[in-house]
Amino acid sequence: MVSMTGENARGPAPPGGPRSATRGIQRGDRRVHTLSETMTVPTDRWAPLAAQLRADSIRATTAVGSGHPTSCLSAADLMAVLLDGHLRADWRKPMRLDDDRLIFSKGHAAPLLYAMAKAAGAISDEELLSLRKLGSRIEGHPAPTVPFVDVATGSLGQGLPAAVGIAIAARLLGRELRCWVLLGDSEMAEGSVYEALELGGHYGLSRIVAIVDMNRLGQRGPTMLQWSGERYAERARAFGWNALVIDGHDQSAIDRAYADAEGSDRPVCIVARTKKGAGVSFLEDKEGWHGKALSKDEAARALAELGNPRTDVVVDTVGRTPGPTASGPREGTYEPPRYEVGSRVSTREAFGDALRALGAERTDVVALDGEVSNSTYLETFGKAHPDRFFEMYIAEQQLVSAAVGMQVLGLVPFASTFAAFFTRAHDQLRMAAVSRARLCLAGSHAGVSIGEDGPSQMGLEDLSTMRALSGSTVLYPSCATTAADLTRQMADRDGISYVRITREKTAVLYGPGERFPIGGSKVLRRSSADSAAVLAAGITLHEALRAHDLLAASGVYVRVVDLYSVKPVDAATVEACARECGGRLVVVEDHWAEGGLADAVSQVFEGRAAPAITHLAVRAMPGSGTPRELLDAAGIGADAIVDVVKRGIATSAQPRIHE
Amino acid sequence: MVSMTGENARGPAPPGGPRSATRGIQRGDRRVHTLSETMTVPTDRWAPLAAQLRADSIRATTAVGSGHPTSCLSAADLMAVLLDGHLRADWRKPMRLDDDRLIFSKGHAAPLLYAMAKAAGAISDEELLSLRKLGSRIEGHPAPTVPFVDVATGSLGQGLPAAVGIAIAARLLGRELRCWVLLGDSEMAEGSVYEALELGGHYGLSRIVAIVDMNRLGQRGPTMLQWSGERYAERARAFGWNALVIDGHDQSAIDRAYADAEGSDRPVCIVARTKKGAGVSFLEDKEGWHGKALSKDEAARALAELGNPRTDVVVDTVGRTPGPTASGPREGTYEPPRYEVGSRVSTREAFGDALRALGAERTDVVALDGEVSNSTYLETFGKAHPDRFFEMYIAEQQLVSAAVGMQVLGLVPFASTFAAFFTRAHDQLRMAAVSRARLCLAGSHAGVSIGEDGPSQMGLEDLSTMRALSGSTVLYPSCATTAADLTRQMADRDGISYVRITREKTAVLYGPGERFPIGGSKVLRRSSADSAAVLAAGITLHEALRAHDLLAASGVYVRVVDLYSVKPVDAATVEACARECGGRLVVVEDHWAEGGLADAVSQVFEGRAAPAITHLAVRAMPGSGTPRELLDAAGIGADAIVDVVKRGIATSAQPRIHE
């Protein structure tokens, strides 16, 4: 067992500058390395630490009987040199804004990360050996269940994109941190990596160092490029990065490469030629070992080959000297946009207005665009606060990952594109939930009501996608006033918040003073003779209101409810509708029949008999047409609502289940 | 109005080889160009056609009042030279296997594609002017509503990845087609484009020609690289492509570039420097015109600037000489894998077994792997049929797009990765539905039951994602026999079929003779005293069976139903359960609470009063642990089922809606 190295264990800063202050391997041969030494460092400086990282990666995975030890061994030298000499962060304490960040983009090498954490004094050997066990903080892949992990990884190709966000945020906040990213070579196949290279190059994010652990072997066999390191380097250079190829087991070469990277005026990609399973003869560069823990006997043999290294080495890491404290995020006042009831304003326009106002109120609000900000009205924010507007171009994966990265440093990112195109980043959204990230998303051009552009541009699955994210909030305003109020509330909401905004101009329904609590709803039409309740949100609420008037003209009354909060949904009001409107609910939505508003309404009745829910939704592939034509063709317009109400929702009176 | 040029309008093939046979501009100045002429061609050869393509793009968009005319104008010269001289396809007839394919990856330039179709005699001027109107075959973005469109585009960065699939299929089938892809420069930001470059380079797909219309301007402003054509070319070269930069308005240069591409032994990327809105002074290289149709007055001015060109030019295109007819796809017999009831076999293993057998039965079945085939058991197919196994590496977007491309040529692609990682290709799946593609997908490692790897690897939203695809089929077998039978059925299913397969070994429940019709279910336990029905699929069915036995031991009886067909769901059986089991349904699934099995069950009761549905699902972010621990921790194990059944689903007897 290693005893923790506390604050007081660190000695005074030696000559050589703060970078190398009090670094080195403690216990017995405690040494201090200065910057100048890195050029002539003895090759055994990192050997004990590297051996320990290997041994601990094996010990932890063998203890639980699963994991990816060989993927750890290939990167052990890279990480030993990083931890002891370059990473400016003290993992024993909560991360500070100026601390360097380390992202294991190859998340399956998590045991190596935890071995580093042990060597940094952040976790005990006992906790290391709790790897992958129920209730342990250290899971099979990195997650922010431990303070030294900022973003969850394990879905490949997402670490470098998150680093882009962190680096942009650091630049905005004037922070000196460096963001180190360990990538596997297999994940260099992911397009998201090239989005990160392109944006990192475009914005000259020189504080990012990508370290590619080129161990040649993927999960099932060799990678496309195997050890053609120069090919990876060429790609990185083609995107504007400095790139070099090194021997990833030559600790001095690694040290020099890191020092070079620290002086670079561009982002840097270090391609490190390594061997999977390096250090253990029966694992080294062998196929068939991916994702396999060693048996106890195999582990004993492996540790013997490693010289049965000591596993109590502790590196006394030091965080970066903090910069001046940032000013608080709330600086101004919120001037809510005001819309006249009855005027026609699109909810996308109101989103832009509210975001501009929010940006004036608080300086922590930033905006990220998928090169459609003139359509989403994110440009309204951009024009008012150009320093906090970030163009991510047509790279939606990077758009979401950058937002995840920016919230790591405490910013409140609003990322926006067409609702349909958030599907491009579904995996990033899924992982953002595992990261417990706070994101605000706005998806425009929802539904068939966009009209002529056709189905490729129509967000018809966004409510489904967003509802199925753990801990998410899903909002769908019907008028500008609502959209503005909800946009502001999102900034204070935990988890992933999504607002669905509409292309078409719609009538303003509520006056400026109205408030729209998340989880609430608005009953817009009610009578004592309501024969059904029409539950709608967004564009279809206006159809419901039209249907109400058409029905009222023939003496039929329906309740009309604005379910602007899709998740959480207003269960009490939905239940009241069922009670008071003859047990007949009509849900109408501009969305596929699966996973949207109707399912949210159904969930209200879980575990008990439910009322009759008639569901009007999009059920066949739409084409082009005018918004009016397409709403009617999909059977979600006012006429369709009138029709189902008039048909009396016949079966609901005599439920077939009681036949 | 142009009169259609029929089969008999083509003259005999002139000297110069089939490539240029009967090509040229008809009417008036009908000419025939031979290969050798392309080096000394008069610069006005393509001028009338290019002018017509520009004029028709403007006319069509102005007629409907929407669309992207300036994005058409930049590419008009590129497409004029392609249509008249290089594209080997006759769009007046159904596409043949050997015909060249043209994909407008920049789908918003659809009017240009339709203008080409008119010039090729495939649509009339009248139909051209129906652009974007309700019921028209020619939608706002290309879709396979017309025979000359193979894959839908409009979500950027998906055309080139589809071409990779087409080119791989063509090579497998021994077809000579070339696949031409028109890309915008904005979409060069999409990571999916780099996945296509990397796979196209890796597999040396020399029949692909990517044409980048580098018009400098995106939707809201300049692109990242603007006119830095050599930067794009460097990137393409870094991925193993031949690349060149040309003036995209120099028709002779375009012609030479295409001829070079036709002789290349590698895939080729032609970066064409163009001006958005080229040919019209008030549009050319001007910001603020993206996605805007010209008013009638503006259109008249534009057409005047273009010299009020004739719009009745017809190019007499010729398809490629067909190769020998392919042998029929069904060649062998299907030897179904057999599993002993009670033995323990994972459904992923059975999927692999069935796919191998299917591959022996029919030669049109191919498999695409996301570099996890040793986990998904796709390798079982790969080992038996290595010529039809395609490694797409860790590039899930390309995995799905390649499958879309391969089915264009009539193959039956099975694409497989972890269920969680299909989220990476959600946009591609969405667009595959717009493409009306026939895809077979298998997602493994579904749910918390994968155990120690943790949430990043757990497919917990796949049922939701796949159910919300238009026209999809979603299957979730509980045992090896079921998995094998469903796998075979998928090959004959229209649209997108998805089978969810499980990592854990589970007991075989059914004997080899059992059949599992899609849309069906199996009642595994029933009695005359069933107090509830437990509806489950996959891993939780085994929990339900265990719960049944535990309950039976204390005298409580429940029906247990295997809902292996999630979409379409077996409505009749679900209804019978509600009628016969006290109106109490318990749905238990290893999936988030949104969008999965319970929502499929709820939909059965649309429009009428529903029974009490108690829903056991994953509702909090899981961590690592053993499969057993995680099922129990999520409250979806046998104990949880016993618990809810015993609690009597109290509220169902007295529904609150009738209070």
For residue A587, list its beta bridge partners.
Answer: A535, A615
Percent pLDDT > 70 in chain A is 91
B459 secondary structure, DSSP code: B
Interface test with B, best of A187, A453, A581, A619 (most B CBs within 10 A): A453
A329 contacts: CB under 8 Å, gap ≥ 6: A362, A363, A364, A365, A410, A412
Q: Does A375 touch chain B (CB under 8 A)?
A: yes
For residue A586, list its beta bridge partners.
Answer: A534, A614
Q: Does B633 touch chain A (CB under 8 A)?
A: yes
A439-444 and A496-500 beta bridge pairing: parallel
Of the candidates A139, A186, A434, which has its C-beta nearest B394's C-beta? A186
Tell me if B625 and A134 make a contact (CB, 8 A cut-off).
yes
Q: Does A579 touch chain B (CB under 8 A)?
A: yes
Chain B residues closer than 8 Å to A658 by CB: 579, 609
What does the pLDDT average to over A296-315? 97
> Which pLDDT belongs to residue A208?
98
User: How far, CA to CA in Å, does B204 sit from each of A86, B242, B265, B266, B649?
Assistant: 41, 10, 8, 5, 61
Taking the CB of residue A30, how many other CB atoms lie within 10 A of it? Answer: 12
Q: For residue A441, which of A409, A471, A417 has the smallest C-alpha distance?
A: A417
Tell me if B134 and A578 make a contact (CB, 8 A cut-off).
no
pLDDT mean across residues, chain A: 92
pLDDT mean across residues, chain B: 92
SS3 label, residue A351? helix
Model confidence pLDDT, tens digit, residues B363-375:
999 999 999 999 9
Helix H, strand E, coil C: the string for B196-211 is HHHHHHHCCCCCEEEE
Model confidence pLDDT, tens digit, residues A543-574:
999 999 999 999 999 999 999 999 999 999 99
CA dist A70 and A108 (Å) reads 10
Structure tokens at A448: 């068939």
Taking the CB of residue A620, how many other CB atoms lie within 10 A of it? Answer: 10
> Which pLDDT belongs to residue A387?
98
> Which pLDDT belongs to residue B7?
32
B175 secondary structure, DSSP code: -
Is the peptide bond between A568 and the residue preceding it cis, with omega within 30 degrees of 0?
Answer: yes
Q: For residue A501, which of A429, A549, A450, A546 has the smallest C-alpha distance?
A: A450
CA dist B33 and B342 (Å) reads 71
Provide the shortest C-alpha distance from residue A368 to chain B (in Å).
14
Which residue's structure tokens are 């534009």? Answer: B302
Q: Where are the beta strands (DSSP E) in A496-540?
A: 496-500, 505-507, 522-525, 530-536
For residue B270, list its beta bridge partners.
Answer: B211, B244
Of the candidates A153, A452, A655, which has its C-beta nearest B66's C-beta? A452
Q: Does A494 touch chain B (CB under 8 A)?
A: no
Q: What are phi and psi of B648, to 5 degrees?
A: 75, 10
What does the pLDDT average to over B179-200? 98
Q: What are phi and psi of B70, to 5 degrees?
A: -65, -30
Sheet of B208-214: strand order equals B101-104, B179-184, B208-214, B268-273, B242-247
What does the pLDDT average to over B10-30? 34
Angle ∠(A641,A647,A651) on CA atoms, nearest 5: 110
Model confidence pLDDT, tens digit, residues B100-137:
999 999 999 999 999 999 999 999 999 999 999 999 99
Of the candidates B186, B599, B611, which has its C-beta nearest A599's C-beta? B599
Chain A residues closer than 8 Å to B630 by CB: 134
Q: Does B243 touch chain A (CB under 8 A)?
A: no
CA dist A130 and A251 (Å) reads 30
CA dist B311 and A514 (Å) reads 56
With bands split at pLDDT 50, 70 and 90, how would you rate the model's confidence at A320?
A: confident
Model confidence pLDDT, tens digit, residues B284-324:
999 999 999 999 999 999 999 999 999 999 999 888 887 77
What does the pLDDT average to over B430-438? 98
Active-site pick, A139, A195, A396, A589: A396
Model confidence pLDDT, tens digit, residues A103-161:
999 999 999 999 999 999 999 999 999 999 999 999 999 999 999 999 999 999 999 99
Tell me if A420 and B434 make a contact (CB, 8 A cut-off).
no
What does the pLDDT average to over B352-357? 98
**Residue type for position B305:** E
Query: CA-based diameter of chain B, in Å?
Result: 92
Chain B residues closer than 8 Å to A195 by CB: 189-191
Sign of the torsion formed by the C-alpha atoms of B119, B121, B124 and B128: negative
CA dihedral B381, B382, B387, B389 (to 10 degrees): 90
Model confidence pLDDT, tens digit, residues A342-386:
999 999 999 999 999 999 999 999 999 999 999 999 999 999 999
CA dist B82 and A563 (Å) reads 52
With bands split at pLDDT 50, 70 and 90, how would you rate the model's confidence at A329?
A: low
Q: Is the pLDDT of residue B46 over 80?
A: yes
CB A45 within 8 A of CB A14: no
CA dist B487 and B420 (Å) reads 19
Q: Where are the beta strands (DSSP E) in A563-619?
A: 565-567, 584-592, 612-618
Interface test with B, best of A145, A158, A220 (most B CBs within 10 A): A220
B530 secondary structure, DSSP code: E
With bands split at pLDDT 50, 70 and 90, how would you rate the model's confidence at A66?
A: very high
Of residues B617 and B656, the one with the higher pLDDT is: B617
Sheet of A412-418: strand order equals A389-391, A365-369, A412-418, A439-444, A496-500, A473-475, A565-567
Residue of B nearest to A221 (CA): B371
> Which pLDDT belongs to residue B42?
52
CA dist B304 and B51 (Å) reads 11
**Residue type for position A26:** Q
> Which pLDDT belongs to residue B29?
34
Q: Is the pLDDT of residue A649 over 70?
A: no
> Which pLDDT belongs to residue B43?
58
Structure tokens at B465: 């994602």
CB A128 within 8 A of CB A138: yes
Q: Does A161 touch chain B (CB under 8 A)?
A: no
In B464-483, the residues whose Cβ lies within 8 Å of chain A are: 464-465, 467-471
With bands split at pLDDT 50, 70 and 90, how would you rate the model's confidence at A32?
A: very low
CA dist B189 and A195 (Å) reads 7
What does the pLDDT average to over A625-648? 96
A628 contacts: CB under 8 Å, gap ≥ 6: A637
B6 secondary structure, DSSP code: -
Of the candidates A156, A198, A624, which has its C-beta nearest B136's C-beta? A624
B107 secondary structure, DSSP code: G
Tell me if A154 and B431 make a contact (CB, 8 A cut-off).
no
Q: What are phi and psi of A632, to 5 degrees?
A: -70, -40
Q: What are phi and psi of B207, to 5 degrees?
A: -90, 5
CA dist A121 and A118 (Å) reads 5
Q: What is the CA radius of gyration of chain B?
A: 28
For residue B210, list its beta bridge partners.
Answer: B181, B269
Tell me if B132 and A157 make a contact (CB, 8 A cut-off).
no
SS3 label, residue A597? helix
Q: What is the pTM of this model?
A: 0.93
Q: Does A360 touch chain B (CB under 8 A)?
A: no
CA dist B433 and B427 (Å) reads 10
- Binning chain A into helix, strand and coil, the percentages to the nearest 5 are 40, 15, 45
In A178-237, the residues whose Cβ lies within 8 Å of chain B are: 186-187, 189-195, 198, 202, 218-221, 223-224, 231, 234-235, 237
Q: Does A624 touch chain B (CB under 8 A)?
A: yes
Tell me if A371 and B434 make a contact (CB, 8 A cut-off).
no
Chain A residues closer than 8 Å to B632 by CB: none
Tell me if A154 and B194 make a contact (CB, 8 A cut-off).
no
Q: Does A140 touch chain B (CB under 8 A)?
A: yes
Q: What is the CA radius of gyration of chain A?
A: 28
CA dist A194 and B238 (Å) reads 12
Q: Does B141 touch chain A (CB under 8 A)?
A: yes
Q: Does A300 touch chain B (CB under 8 A)?
A: no
CA dist A309 and B199 (Å) reads 43
Model confidence pLDDT, tens digit, residues B71-108:
999 999 999 999 999 999 999 998 899 999 999 999 99
Q: Does B434 touch chain A (CB under 8 A)?
A: yes
